[in-house]
Structure 1
Amino acid sequence: MNTNANHALTSACGLLQLIIRIWRVEPKSTPVALLEWDVDFRAMRYLCKKMSVAQSLFPAGTLLFAARDGYYTAPDIAARVHCEEEPAIKPNVSTVQRKSYDFIKAVGLLEKHREICRVQDQIAKLVETIQEKLAKDGPLMEKTRLKGERQSRTIQLQARLQACSTHVERARHELDALSDRASAKRTAIQTYGQRLRDNVLLYEQLSTELTTTRALLKYTNEDVQRLERRRLSTMRLIYPIEQASTISSIFTICDTRLPNSMFADCKPEVVATALGYTCHLANMIAYYLRVPVKFPMVAMCSRSYVIDPLAIDPSQSTYPLYAKGQDVARYEYGVFLLNKNIEQLLISQGLSVIDIRNTLPNLRWLLDTIKDRQCRADR
């Protein structure tokens, strides 16, 4: 704060010295002297004519004296300021000139300071009253504050409770739905369990029946096989295959000679009859052995024939087993198909063919093997 003392200096008066005292006055306390200065006006140093020139060059707390011819201060302060020449004041620049207070203004300032102190005292009393009021009504206000907070907390908890209740209700509905589904599944499981138990009992009954049926089927198959062997033995007696008395390499069937696929020097009708017997005997053996031959045979005595299902032309799939009035190649191919059927019968019984052209020897070997197996089974 800059403090200026305002005094009028004139050369006419005899006032050359002045004592300046600055006091600090506080409410309810004794005034305290801050500064006492014995001023000798003869030692004052001139500064300038206008205060606007050098007002910003003084440090805080500088005392200036305003006279008619200008402003004065202490020599040491004037030496630091250096305001020998006054610069020209710029136009349109507002300047503020601060002068020292006179006695009347100082007394007015002191009254304002005292009024400010009184206001501060009133404010302090008001603050003290408010604090006493707060101290007195503090518990009630704290309770009111706590009540507001608890009401807010209660509203929040009620909202959460409502949300939880909605969630619990939804979960209860879902639980009821799941319970219904579980009950339905439990009923279905019980139903299927009862069905399973019934099926287990039925399975046990059927297993027993199946065991009995298998045993019966086994005995029946054995009887059938035994009967088939007997029938084959009977067929062996019906169609006896013997070795010719004159030529050992030729066999006869029902006393009818049948060479081994070489019929050049034989009578066609005799050969046709022997092939018919052979065709019928092979058919009966296939029937009793339950072997489906690849090439079906039709036995018609001396006019028998064989069918080739793999023939390209269905109209040419029949091959005769007689040579009269037939193509020799087709006749020989028919005999070949008959021999293939006999080979298939041998393979079905686990026998191998040495020469497929030996029609009657192969057939007799098959019958002898079946008879031997029958004899071993009867034992």
Structure 2
Amino acid sequence: MNLGDIKRRLAEAELSRDREEHEISTFLVDNSNAFLAPIRARQESVWLDNQLEALVTEHDRLKATKLRLQGERTRLDLRTDQLKVARKALQDARSKLEKAWIELEQSKRLQDDLDIEVSCQRRRICSDLGRAYPIAPASSKDYRLLSIRGVVLPYVNFDDFKLDDVGTALGYTAHLVYLLSAYLNIQLRYSVYPRGNRSYVEDCVSIDHDHGSYPLWPKGIDYQSFEYGVFLLRLDIKQLMDSHGLLTLDIQQTLLNLKGLLTFIQTNR
């Protein structure tokens, strides 16, 4: 075989190869759908599975959202009912408050009327007590020396006067103090027991003195006990004056202080 034959055969082989490659390419192009269909089917199956899974997840999420929404709606309805009840209670409370306010205003007016009436009654009573136990000057030389129902009550030096008269004057004074405390509704710190010229004062609160009863008559008893009893009676008078905002300049001025208290109550509303 010569070189020409070899070249010819090589050219024929190359031509045959190119023709077969062309035929294979044409076959592949013509039948590409058949080759790609399984791949596409698998891809579409995976995509559908993913979509189905996503759909199930979304369905579960939607279901949970509906349940939460239903729960919120239930709580909202419950809260609405509670608000209705609270609003009704508030309206009732406002109605009661308005009614109570009206009643309070009426009570205030009634209290004011009662206070005026009580004040008038107290002035009348004090006026009557002033006439029942008149306190008047007993000496033109000493304005501080006064008498009660015509009996002189000294403010110092009881021994310079008749002891029986002192006991009587203190009995009158004790009775007047007792009546004033009752009509003025003031609980005396030291209880007074009017017994005529045998009246006495009881001390149950002092911490620096013995508790007990102390006489308001000087005759035939311990003089220190008598003086302490007079001191307690004067403290009671000071308490009555303090309750009306009156200043006690001299606690020894027993009748003068009582006279000032009676005058103040009778002349002030």
Give the match for residue 148 of structure 1. 42
Structure 1 Cα separation of the partners of residues 20 and 126 of structure 2: 142
TM-score by length of 2: 0.82
Which stretches in structure 1 are left out of the alignment for 5+ residues? 1-24, 30-116
Taking structure 1 as reference, are residues 268 and 192 closer, same or farther at Cα in structure 2, changes over 3 Å only? same
Q: Does 1:221 align with 2:203?
A: no
**Selected match of 1:280 from 171, 175, 194:** 175
Greater alpha carbon shift after TM alignment, 235-244 vs 199-208: 199-208
TM-score normalised by structure 1 residue count: 0.60
CA shift for structure 1 position 151 = 2.2
Counterpart CA distance in 1 for 2:156 and 2:174 is 14
CA distance in 2, matches of 1:288, 1:131: 135
Q: How far apart are 1:301 and its partner, in Å? A: 2.1
Structure number with greater Rg is 1
- Identify, as 1 or 2, the structure richer in helix: 2
Task: After superposing the two structures, state which structure 1 stretch, 211-220 or 193-202, moved more.
Answer: 193-202
Q: Distance in 2 between matches of 1:359 and 1:223?
A: 29
Q: In the alignment, which residue of structure 1 is the partner of 2:145? A: 250
Find the partner of 2:164 among 269, 287, 291.
269
Residue 185 of structure 1 and its aligned partner are, at CA, apart by 2.1
Which residue of 236, 254, 258 maps to 2:130?
236
Structure number with the higher strand fraction is 1
Instruction: Please state how far the C-alpha of 1:178 moved relative to its aligned partner.
Output: 2.3
Matching residue within 27, 33, 37 for 1:139: 33
Q: Which residue in 2 is equivalent to 1:346?
A: 241
Which of the residues 169, 181, 189 maps onto 1:294? 189
Deviation string, structure 1 residues 182-207 (Cα, Å, up to 9, x no partner): 22222222122222222322322222
CA displacement at 1:313 relative to structure 2:
9.0
* Structure 2 contact 214–229 (Cα < 8 Å) conserved: yes
In 1, are the aligned partners of 2:204 and 2:211 still within 8 Å (CA)? no
- Could you say which residue in structure 2 is the equivalent of 1:28? 10
CA deviations on 1:192-238 (whole Å, 9 max, x unpaired) are 22222223223222222222222122112111111111111111111
1:274 Cα shift?
Answer: 1.7
Structure 1 vs Structure 2: percent identity of aligned residues?
28
Equivalent residue for 1:183, pick from 77, 81, 86: 77
Shift of 1:316: 2.3
Paired amino acid for 2:164:
E
1:64 matched residue in structure 2: none
The structure 2 residue matched to 1:203, chosen from 78, 81, 97, is 97
Give unpaired runs (5+ residues) of structure 2: 1-6
* Cα distance change on mapping 1:316 and 1:206 into 2, 3 Å: closer
Distance 2:25 2:213 in 1: 136
AA at the equivalent of 2:159: A
For 2:20 and 2:235, the matched residues in 1 are separated by: 138
Residues in 1 aligned to 2:231 and 2:24: alpha-carbon distance in whole angstroms: 138
Picking from 160, 176, 183, the partner of 2:54 is 160
Question: Residue 324 of structure 1: CA displacement?
Answer: 4.1
**Cα separation, partners in 2 of 1:125 and 1:245, compared to 1, 3 Å:** same
Rate the CA distance shift 1:155–1:362 in 2: closer, same or farther, 3 A: same
How far apart are the structure 2 equivalents of 1:132 and 1:357? 145
Residue 224 of structure 2 aligns with which residue? 329
Do 1:311 and 1:317's aligned partners in 2 also have CA atoms closer than 8 Å? no
- Tell me if structure 1 keeps the 8 A contact 2:153–2:169: yes
Q: How does 1:18-57 map to 2 (within 5 A)?
A: 28=10
| 1:278-309 per-position Cα deviation (integer Å, ceiling 9, x unaligned) | 12212222333333333232222223222333
The count of corresponding residues between Structure 1 and Structure 2 is 259
Work out the CA distance in 2 between the residues paired with 1:139 and 1:157: 25
Contact 1:261 1:359 in 2 (8 A): no
Q: Which has the higher contact order (CA 8 A, sep 6+)?
A: 2
**Number of the residue aligned with 1:32:** none
Q: 1:222 to 1:28 in 2, by over 3 A?
A: same
* One-letter identity of the residue aligned with 1:258: L
Aligned equivalent of 2:67, options 173, 182, 202: 173
